[in-house]
């Protein structure tokens, strides 16, 4: 749990508007600070399993908020990830880029198949018209 001053400092740094305390960016920043505090605590108290469970829960919650922010406002997501220096955001960005690359490959294959089918179809039409002309002669 963060102390009041730290929480207010984080809110002040990441707020979108004057009365903002609950936007995704602010929530992610607060969770990041809490995660940092828990990591420090766990380095000193290695057998504190309940704190470890709390850490995992906070990391999962932050991941969900990051996915939401990436989906809703990609520019804000990249800015926040850069500001907070999040490794998870880098991984999410790489996964998204890989997904886009695979989709582009799939589209290219489908376009190639369509083009090939169109060429075959046009050749069949030419062959039919040529055979009709020969039949007429």
Say if residue 80 is in the same domain as residue 95.
Answer: no
Say if residue 16 is in the same domain as residue 60.
Answer: yes
Residue 129 — very low, low, confident or very high, per pLDDT cuts 50/70/90?
Answer: confident
Residue 86 — very low, low, confident or very high, per pLDDT cuts 50/70/90?
Answer: confident
pLDDT score for 137: 58
pLDDT score for 132: 67
pLDDT score for 127: 75
In this structure, how many other beta carbons lie within 10 angstroms of the beta carbon of residue 134? 8
Average pLDDT for 91-109: 87
Residue 126 — very low, low, confident or very high, per pLDDT cuts 50/70/90?
Answer: confident
The continuous run of DSSP H or E covering 39 comes out as helix 24-44
Say if residue 104 is in the same domain as residue 56.
Answer: no
Say if residue 54 is in the same domain as residue 8.
Answer: yes
Say if residue 55 is in the same domain as residue 98.
Answer: no
Q: Note the pTM of the prediction, 2 decimals.
A: 0.67
Q: Domain tally for the chain?
A: 2
- Running DSSP on this structure, what letter comes out for residue 137? -
- Running DSSP on this structure, what letter comes out for residue 119? H
Say if residue 63 is in the same domain as residue 99.
Answer: no
pLDDT score for 56: 97
Say if residue 79 is in the same domain as residue 25.
Answer: yes
Tokens of 137: 């002669």
What is the extent of the structural domain holding 34?
A: 1-85
Say if residue 51 is in the same domain as residue 5.
Answer: yes
């Amino acid at each position: 749990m963060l102390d009041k001053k730290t929480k207010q400092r984080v809110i002040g740094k990441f707020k979108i508007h004057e009365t903002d305390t609950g936007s995704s960016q602010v929530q992610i920043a607060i969770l990041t600070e809490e995660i940092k505090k828990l990591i420090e605590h766990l380095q000193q108290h290695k057998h504190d399993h309940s704190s470890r469970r709390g850490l995992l829960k906070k990391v999962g919650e932050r991941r969900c908020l990051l996915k939401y922010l990436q989906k809703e406002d990609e520019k804000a997501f990249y800015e926040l990830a850069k500001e907070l220096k999040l490794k998870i955001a880098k991984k999410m960005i790489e996964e998204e880029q890989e997904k886009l690359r695979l989709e582009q490959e799939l589209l290219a294959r489908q376009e190639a198949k369509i083009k090939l089918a169109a060429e075959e179809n046009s050749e069949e039409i030419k062959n039919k018209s040529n055979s009709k002309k020969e039949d007429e002669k």
